[in-house]
Amino acid sequence: MPRKKKRAVRGARATTASARAASNYPWHRRVPWIAIAGAAVVLVIGVLVARSFGVGESAGRYTGPGSGVGDHITEGTPITYPSYPPTSGPHWPAPTTWGFHSEVVPDERAVHNLEHGGVVASYNNIPADALAALQALLTAYQKDKYGEVKLLIRPYDKVAPGTIVLTAWNWIDELPAYDDARVRHFLDAHLNQCCESVP
């Protein structure tokens, strides 16, 4: 390498080294971390906003921004919902217990369970092994801070025989047969995601 070129390379290295030495101020070292933290916060907010509108969410179908949070109707009063099973709306003052129910749980009560961050699995005349698989989820999931797995499993004659319909607040997934991966995906996405953090 010619001498002039070597001197130029050495000079460039010296300039870079002196620039590094000049950047030893604390704020120079903080700037990249502040930018990274800011970008992370913007990304998280973007994901949460997108999720609230159903963008990029494949765990069920978003049914729109529902109303009815805290809207308690007199116990026993029938309510007409825009869909069955409902995914939001006014409801009776008390939810039912979590877990498996062999008896009919009225929509007006089940919607209150949705409001507490639960998922309702409504089924109609499904095979015994599918029902057993649904019930097994109650022990497969870790209990929340209230000691609950917020899954309500109930018989429901307003859907076609042989089907299972999963609902969460503003979300629904209709399954023609039990699909373990799909059911778990729905639960993972929606358990404890709405609207009141209570048992």
The CATH number assigned to the domain holding 151 equals 3.40.30
In terms of domains, do 123 and 179 share one?
yes
Cis peptide before 85 (omega within 30 of 0): yes
Give the domain-ending residue among 14, 30, 52.
Answer: 52
In terms of domains, do 74 and 163 share one?
yes
Q: Where in the sequence is the domain holding 177, given as residue range(s)? A: 61-190
In terms of domains, do 23 and 105 share one?
no
* Residues 193, 180 contacting (CB under 8 angstroms): no
In terms of domains, do 96 and 163 share one?
yes
pLDDT of residue 124: 98
Structure-block tokens of residue 97 = 């217990």
pLDDT of residue 54: 43
- Residue keyed to tokens 């390498």: 1
In terms of domains, do 67 and 31 share one?
no
End-to-end CA distance of the chain: 76
pLDDT of residue 65: 86
In terms of domains, do 39 and 80 share one?
no
In terms of domains, do 100 and 180 share one?
yes
In terms of domains, do 102 and 14 share one?
no
In terms of domains, do 86 and 11 share one?
no
Please report whether residue 181 resides in a domain.
Answer: yes
Please report whether residue 85 resides in a domain.
Answer: yes
Per-residue pLDDT of the chain (199 residues; tens, 9 = 90+): 555 554 544 555 545 544 455 556 565 555 565 656 566 566 656 555 455 444 444 699 999 888 888 889 999 999 999 999 999 999 999 999 999 999 999 999 999 999 999 999 999 999 999 999 999 999 999 999 999 999 999 999 999 999 999 999 999 999 999 999 999 999 999 999 988 888 7
In terms of domains, do 117 and 97 share one?
yes
pLDDT of residue 188: 96
In terms of domains, do 35 and 69 share one?
no
> pTM higher than 0.95, yes or no?
no
Structurally, the chain folds into a number of domains equal to 2
In terms of domains, do 150 and 172 share one?
yes
Please report whether residue 131 resides in a domain.
Answer: yes
E-strand ranges in the chain read 61-62, 99-100, 119-123, 151-155, 164-168, 171-175
Please report whether residue 7 resides in a domain.
Answer: yes
